Amino acid sequence: MRLFAIISPFFVIACCLVVLGTTATDCASEIIDKVVAQVNDDVITLSELEEEGGPLFAKIRREAPADERQEALEMVRDQVLNALVNRKLIAQEAAKQGISVSDQEVDEAFNQVLAANGATREEFLGELEQNGIGEQTYRRNLKSQLLQNKLLMLAVRSKILITDDMVLDYYHDEYTKNVAEGSFYLLQIGVGWDEPETAQQSTAALYQAKLDARKRAERIHKLALAGQDFRDLARRFSDLPSAEEGGDIGVFAEDEMADYMKTAVADLKPGDISDIVETPFGYQFFQLLSGGSGGIVSKAPYETVKEQIREELYRETMQEEYEAWLKRLREAAYIRK
C-alpha cells in the first residue's frame, strides 16, 4: 500500500533520544524539557522532538541490530530536527502572509489520502503504525504541507508554465523507442499455475491447475482483443515481473526470442495481439508494437498521454521550486541547533 504519495519530500519522519542528567537515577526521576533548536523567535523543545520521533524511535529500538542502533539514532535525529525546523519556517512564513489551514481542511486532505489509497481509516493508521508514525504526527505534517502548498501557490505556482514543446520533448524521450530493422518490440501478459505439492497429486492436480490458468488467460485475452488497454491489463492481471512495466519487455532480435515467442509473433502486424501460447512457465500472449521494418515506435499515442506528461512536468517543476524556496527561507532565517 502506497500511503504517502501526496506528502512532499521535506516530510521525513525520524527520531532521536537525548538522555539528560548525570545518573540513571536522575534520568528515571526527572526529564527536563530542554531547547534543542532555535528558529528565529521560535524554539523546538526536546519534548517536541521526542513526540515527533517517538514511534519510529521505538521501532528502531526493536528492530535495528545492536551494532547499528546508535548510528541510526544519530542519523534520524538530524532528519527529524530538520523536519521540525522546516515546519517552523513554513508556519512563520504563513503567519507573515496571513495564511492558515483549518482543522476541516486537514480532515478533508486526510480523507483524500484514504480515498487515493483505497484504504479504510483503520487500515491506514495500521500502516502508519508499522512505519513508526503516529496519527497526530502525520496530521501535523499534513497541515504543514497544506500551508506549504498555499505559500507556493502565492509565491511561485502562478509563474510556472509548462509549454507544449516541453511536453513533446518529454514524450519523445520517455514514450518513444527507436527499433532497429529486424527487431520486435513486444508487450507481454502471462498467467502461471502452481505445481502440485506431492508426486501423488501430480497428474490430476497439475491438469486442473493448467486448466484454471488457461481459462484465466483466455478471459484476459478476450479483454485485450475487445480493445482494452494492453498495458493496463498487464498491470492488473499478468503474473510476470513485466506486469509492473505494463507488460513491456522491450526489443528483441529474432534470434533472441524463444521458440514459443517466435511462433506467437511471426505473423503479427504492429498493434496486433497474438494467440495464447503455452510456455514452460504458463500461458502467455503478446502485443506487437513494432516488427521487422524498424523505425520509431511509441509506447502510447501522444494525445492519450500529453496531459499526464504535463502534470508530471508540473510536479517536477514544483518540487524544484519548493526546494529552492525552502533553501531561501533557511538562508534568511536564524537557525541554531
**pLDDT tens figures, 288-309:** 887 655 566 666 778 888 999 9
For residue 87, count CB atoms less than 10 angstroms from its CB and return exposed for 0-12, middle for 13-18, buried for 19 or more: buried
Q: What is the pTM of this model?
A: 0.52
Highest mean pLDDT among 183-187, 209-213, 220-224: 220-224
Whose CA is closest to 224, among 170, 276, 177?
Answer: 276
What rounded mean pLDDT belongs to the chain? 82
Neighbour count for residue 249 (Cβ, 10 Å): 17
For residue 2, count CB atoms less than 10 angstroms from its CB and return exposed for 0-12, middle for 13-18, buried for 19 or more: exposed
Q: What is the pLDDT of residue 198?
A: 55
pLDDT over threshold 90, residue 243: yes
Q: What SS3 class is residue 80?
A: helix
**Averaged pLDDT, 185-205:** 78
Q: For residue 175, name the pLDDT band (cuts at 50, 70, 90).
A: confident
Q: Domains of the chain (ranges plus CATH)?
A: 24-155 (1.10.4030.10), 181-293 (3.10.50.40)
* Strand order across the 35-39 sheet: 42-45, 35-39, 335-336
pLDDT tens digits, 263-296? 898 888 888 999 999 998 899 999 988 765 556 6
C-alpha cell at 275: 494467440
pLDDT tens digits, 63-105? 889 889 888 888 988 899 998 999 899 889 888 889 999 999 9
∠154-160-166 over CA atoms, to 5°? 165
For residue 6, count CB atoms less than 10 angstroms from its CB and return exposed for 0-12, middle for 13-18, buried for 19 or more: middle
Exposure string for 90-111, b = 16+ CB within 10 A, e = fewer = bbbbbeeeebebeeeebeebbe
